[in-house]
Amino acid sequence: KAGVTQTPRYLIKTRGQQVTLSCSPISGHRSVSWYQQTPGQGLQFLFEYFSETQRNKGNFPGRFSGRQFSNSRSEMNVSTLELGDSALYLCASRFGTAMNTEAFFGQGTRLTVV
Partner 1 sequence: GENVEQHPSTLSVQEGDSAVIKCTYSDSASNYFPWYKQELGKGPQLIIDIRSNVGEKKDQRIAVTLNKTAKHFSLHITETQPEDSAVYFCADSGTYKYIFGTGTRLKVLA
Query: Between 50 and 78, whose beta carbon lies closer to partner 1?
Result: 50
Q: Give min distance, CB of 90 to partner 1, in A.
A: 6
Instruction: For residue 70, state whether it binds partner 1 (rule: CB under 8 A).
Output: no
End-to-end alpha-carbon separation of the chain, Å?
A: 37
Does position 25 interact with partner 1 (CB under 8 A)? The reply is no
Among 36, 78, 108, 111, binds partner 1 (CB under 8 A): 108
Render the burial of 31-61: b for 16+ CB within 10 Å, e for the rest: bbbbbbeeeeeeeeebbbbbeeeeeeeeebe
Q: Which residues bind partner 1 (CB under 8 A)?
A: 4, 6, 33, 35, 42-43, 45, 48, 55-56, 58, 90, 92, 99-108
